[in-house]
Amino acid sequence: MQPILALEGVSKSFAGVKALKDVSFDVRPGEVHALMGENGAGKSTLIKVMAGVHAPDTGEIRVNGAVVRFASPREARAAGIATVYQELLLFPELSVAENIFLGHAPRTTMNALDWTKMRDEARRLLDELDSHDLDVDARVGSLSVANRQRVEIAKALSQDARVLIMDEPTAALSDTDARRLMDVVRRLRDRGVAIVYVSHRMPEIFALATRVTVLRDGAYVGTHDIGAITEGELVSMMVGRPVDQLFPKVDTEIGAPILELRNVSYRDEVEDISLTLRAGEIVGIAGLIGSGRTELALTIFGITPATSGEILLDGRPVTITDPKQARDLGIAYVPEDRGLQGLIKPQTIRENLSLALLDRISTATIVDRAKETSLAKELIKRFGIRARGPEQRVRQLSGGNQQKVVLAKWVATEPRVLIMDEPTRGIDVGAKAEIHALMSRLAGQGLAVLMISSELPEVLGMSDRVLVMNNGRIVAEFDRDAATPDSVGTAMMQTSANDAGAAKAEVA
Amino acid sequence: MSASNPTVARPAPAMHPMKRVAAYGQEFILLGAIILLILVVSFVNPRFLGANNITNIFAGNAYIAVAAIGMSLVIISGHIDVAVGSLIGVLATISGTLAVNGYPIWLAWLAPVAIGILVNAGVGALIAYLRIPSIVVTLGMLSILKGGLISVTGGAWISNLPADYLIAQFRLFGIPSPVWFMVILTALVAFWMRYSGFGRTIYAIGGNVEAARVAGIQVERSTVIVFAIHGAFAGIAAVLFATQLQVIQSTVPPNLELTVITASVVGGVSILGGTGTVIGSTLAAILFAAIASSLIFLNVSAYWLRAVQGLLILVTVLADMARRHRLR
């Protein structure tokens, strides 16, 4: 079948840096074409070329065989190419129906907005996406990420998209929501929509894709039918070297208890949590988004201080009411959202690395620059942060390297307890393996690590013990040997009995 | 990204001199603009270069530069203060009133600084602890201070200021004291912002308040301190302003807050917070003074000054956006 959208020999430079080098890519009606590569490999740029955001320096774009030049994203949309970006571009104060039809709302003969038709059409589009529980009058700001994403997809469909580009659509979703989204993608594919699908998650790629194309360092590496390639081959195409061990948790001597929680609660978000974290131990917390995992981390770290219960450090009760106290007690928190909570993006790597220990490298409040720079250089080396040097601004780094900066910043405070929330979300395979190796090494040095993750393989591979959370409570606990995809998955599934109810409640 | 080289960071290449200039872009551009302006205008009208005129340019606008130092800290921390003009008006009136009513001179000099600190610490507390946006709090302050001042004083002139009170007319080594204040305070704060832990904290809060909080920075306390420091600089600016002439009018100098904010922004302080230096804001204040003086020497209506300032804001913001675009 003829490709509906084809790119040939496309190159694109920014300020002299080649983001894309002679890349060819095409997608046919009724197929899911996966686009893979490490962060910084050029996937985003390629997507933006297809979506009309960037014009290619050289090369051709063809729609149905005819050469086109998109002067703007609007022209690409008019040609039937719609994009669902990772950061959803919706208006939180407007309703679902308004968001779907913004810019092309149906009109009455008087040229007024046809609200009835708009709501009916919105309903129909959402029903097609199997989202019968989503209210067209709900304010988008009140919806979950998963539901907002459906609104974004409905918006694309409302403009008769023949090509749908999806940039890491499942990155921010829980497993259940991700599975629902994949059903939607299949449905669209079967209706003949051509889908460009960007994701780091291997199982998804193998479940959904017809073909897969890999980019590396802005260059085209290859395209394969999904049946003709293995996961290992894909990974080595991406990183340019074989990665044999994704989750290298090394067995460590597990020592004395460091952090203990006794019946800790925070309002009704974290309820009656008791747990013990020992030196050298990695405890994984599995659970759906909204199960109270992140809330638990925030409570331990003093951002939302415990409303009842007891926290003990080395057996002594402590009160933690703000992050500064937690930090001074030797607790470190690598947050879920790097951009929002982890990094000062306008600042340099050096400034970000020293932020949590400024008082320790200052004499009479004046920061010792020599000490600071050598600390930064040492951390860059130790954590394998790929950067031009300590003076590079963090916003210029790739996602994986940004995550390493956040991790390094906290490790530099020499904590005893390290809490990591989604430590490898949105980062590429190579950087992921490095982060896992670092975690393992830190545990080996006697740190107690609490790891929250939505990725089951990561939880299973890295953890000495796995706790499963639901509704703010710990509902199951497994030792390393007892923790299998089945056992942990089942414990998480029990929770999804409440799922439909929760989704309804959220819309209401 | 070089995947083949996983653990060793690439060595940092020596920074290209042009890049070094780019890192301080705004400061160099402003310095160049000031020098160019002085050269061009003195070519057209050689009297412009007369020693007195150049010192007057510096001295007459120094109080704006001093106020812009505090304003820059506030904007870098992610806030704004539109009440600074009113505050300076009130503090100048208090200072002058104390001076003519026989209170000790040192009290007339220090009271505005102390009151400035107290008032703005209160403003900072409202913003930090009650989480009211700074534009709202300071808009309220603007009206309260401006209205209060006119109601109490009726806009009367304060005259017969004692000669030893007029600190702005003092000279040291032939250079007017406001220039000393401007240069020394700018240098001190520039150093402190760059090298102190607290300076770093201010940049971090303005750059990403949530990340700063998670890193253990006491955001609320720091915000109050930033506003208090800003109040101190407003107090110094008020004294320099009040002691320029033998008399002061007890009103708010028109549009002063806008001039001060403009100096910060044109000086390269990002209105979004997180970046900028006080050297830039001081150079911008000097540039405004030089432009004002040039207009007189070129026989152009002084009203053009405001238009030129507005134009500079737009040019600066556009240049800033272009620069960000390139860096991305």
Burial class (CB in 10 A: 0-12, 13-18, 19+), A356: buried
Q: What is the pLDDT of residue B100?
A: 87
Is A213 inside any structural domain? yes
| Mean pLDDT score, B10-33 | 60
Do residues A247 and A461 touch, judged by C-beta distance below 8 A? yes
* Amino acid, single-letter form, for residue B132: I
Kind of pairing between the strands at B157-158 and B248-249: antiparallel
- Closest chain B CA to residue A395: B328
CA distance A432 to chain B (A): 12
Q: How far is CA B170 from CA A194, A366, B236, B240, in A?
A: 78, 33, 15, 11
Cβ contact, residue pair B207, A346, below 8 Å: yes
Residue A267 and residue A147 share a domain:
no
**B215 contacts chain A (CB < 8 A):** yes
Q: Is A84 helix (H, G, I), strand (E, B) or coil?
A: strand
Domain harbouring A181, CATH code:
3.40.50.300
Do residues A71 and A52 touch, judged by C-beta distance below 8 A? yes
Q: Report pLDDT digits (tens) over A420-452.
A: 998 887 777 777 888 888 888 889 888 999 999
Residue A162 and residue A188 share a domain:
yes
Is A347 inside any structural domain? no
Domain boundary among A211, A239, A267: A239
The H or E element containing residue A118 is helix A115-128
Do residues A492 and A468 touch, judged by C-beta distance below 8 A? yes
* Amino acid, single-letter form, for residue A507: V
Residue A100 and residue A45 share a domain:
yes
List the 434-473 stretch of A: residues with Cβ below 8 A of B: 434
Residue A192 and residue A110 share a domain:
yes
List the 341-360 stretch of A: residues with Cβ below 8 A of B: 341-347, 351, 354-356, 358-359
Residue A496 and residue A445 share a domain:
yes
Cβ contact, residue pair B207, A347, below 8 Å: yes
Is A397 inside any structural domain? no
Residue A419 and residue A316 share a domain:
yes
- Which residues of chain B make contact with A341, given a CB cutoff of 8 A? 208, 210-211, 214
Confidence of residue A194 (pLDDT cuts 50, 70, 90): very high
* Region label for A225, one of left (φ > 0), alpha (ψ between -120 and 50) or beta (otherwise): beta
Mutant choice from A54, A341, A398 vs B, greatest count of B C-beta within 10 A: A341
Q: What is the pLDDT of residue B11?
A: 40
Q: Report pLDDT digits (tens) over A126-163.
A: 888 878 888 888 888 888 878 888 888 888 888 888 99
Q: Report pLDDT digits (tens) over A454-491.
A: 777 788 888 889 998 888 888 888 988 888 777 777 77
- Give φ, ψ of B41 to 5 degrees: -65, -40
Indicate the pTM of the whole model.
Answer: 0.72
List the 7-26 stretch of B: residues with Cβ below 8 A of A: 7-13, 15
Residue A475 and residue A337 share a domain:
yes
Taking Cα atoms as reference points, which of B64, B56, B88, B68 lies closest to residue B169? B56
Nearest to B196 among A333, A345, A367 (CB): A367
Domain boundary among A239, A274, A292: A239
Is A376 inside any structural domain? no
| Mean pLDDT score, B291-297 | 80
Do residues A426 and A261 touch, judged by C-beta distance below 8 A? no
Taking Cα atoms as reference points, which of A2, A428, A432 lies closest to residue A215? A428
Q: In sequence order, what DSSP letters do the residues of B27-89 get, joined into one string? A: HHHHHHHHHHHHHHHHHH-GGGG-HHHHHHHHHHHHHHHHHHHHHHHHHHTT---TTHHHHHH
Cβ contacts of residue B188 below 8 Å, gap of 6+? none
Confidence of residue A104 (pLDDT cuts 50, 70, 90): confident
Kind of pairing between the strands at A282-286 and A219-225: unpaired
Per the structure, the count of domains in chain A is: 2
Do residues A199 and A47 touch, judged by C-beta distance below 8 A? no
Cβ contact, residue pair A303, B214, below 8 Å: yes
Q: Report pLDDT digits (tens) over A223-253.
A: 999 999 888 788 778 766 554 455 666 777 8
Boundaries of domain holding A464:
257-342+414-507
Do residues B217 and A355 touch, judged by C-beta distance below 8 A? yes
Q: Is the model's pLDDT at A267 over the cut of 60?
A: yes
Mutant choice from B214, B222, B325 vs A, greatest count of A C-beta within 10 A: B214
Calpha distance A471→A173 (Å, rounded): 17
Q: Report pLDDT digits (tens) over B79-119.
A: 999 999 999 999 999 998 988 888 898 998 999 999 999 99
Encode A410-442 in three state secondary structure. HHCCCCCEEEEECCCCCCCHHHHHHHHHHHHHH
- Closest chain A CA to residue B7: A384
H-helix segments, A345-464? 349-354, 369-382, 399-411, 429-444, 456-462
Nearest to B210 among A341, A386, A389 (CB): A341
The H or E element containing residue A488 is helix A485-496
Estimate to the nearest angstrom the gap between the alpha carbon of A73 and the chain centroid. 25
Region B50-318: CATH code: 1.10.3470
Burial class (CB in 10 A: 0-12, 13-18, 19+), B160: exposed
Report the alpha-carbon angle A274-A280-A284, nearest 5: 50
Cβ contact, residue pair A391, B15, below 8 Å: yes
Considering chain B, what percentage of its residues have pLDDT values greater than 70?
Answer: 90
Q: Is the model's pLDDT at A262 over the cut of 70?
A: yes
Q: Per DSSP, what are the bridge partners of residue A96?
A: none
Confidence of residue A502 (pLDDT cuts 50, 70, 90): very low
Q: Report pLDDT digits (tens) over A46-65.
A: 999 999 988 999 999 999 98
Q: In sequence order, what DSSP letters do the residues of A245-258 get, joined into one string? A: -S--PPP----SEE
Q: How far is CA A197 from CA A246, A409, A494, in A?
A: 23, 34, 30
List the 369-398 stretch of A: residues with Cβ below 8 A of B: 369, 380-381, 384-393, 395-396, 398
* Residue that wins the pLDDT comparison between B69 and B172: B69
Do residues B282 and B68 touch, judged by C-beta distance below 8 A? yes
Confidence of residue A499 (pLDDT cuts 50, 70, 90): very low
Do residues B59 and B243 touch, judged by C-beta distance below 8 A? no
Q: How far is CA B93 from CA A464, B104, B106, in A?
A: 70, 16, 15
Q: What is the pLDDT of residue A90?
A: 83
Whole-number average pLDDT of chain A? 84
Residue A230 and residue A283 share a domain:
no
Q: Is the model's pLDDT at A508 over the cut of 60?
A: no
Rg value, chain A, Cα: 24
All structural domains of chain B with their residue ranges: 50-318
Calpha distance A383→A372 (Å, rounded): 16
Is A500 inside any structural domain? yes
Considering chain A, what percentage of its residues have pLDDT values greater than 70?
Answer: 93
- Closest chain B CA to residue A391: B12
Do residues A22 and A10 touch, judged by C-beta distance below 8 A? yes
Do residues B128 and B218 touch, judged by C-beta distance below 8 A? no
Residue A141 and residue A52 share a domain:
yes
Q: Report pLDDT digits (tens) over B193-202.
A: 988 888 889 9
Q: Report pLDDT digits (tens) over B147-183.
A: 888 888 887 888 888 888 888 778 888 788 899 999 9
* Amino acid, single-letter form, for residue B242: A
Q: What is the pLDDT of residue A16?
A: 65
Burial class (CB in 10 A: 0-12, 13-18, 19+), B221: middle
Domain boundary among A188, A208, A239: A239
DSSP assigned state of A230 = -
Q: Is the model's pLDDT at A334 over the cut of 70?
A: yes
User: What's the ipTM?
Assistant: 0.78
Confidence of residue A493 (pLDDT cuts 50, 70, 90): low
- Closest chain B CA to residue A301: B214
Count how many pairs of residues, chain A against chain B, have C-beta atoms within 8 Å. 130
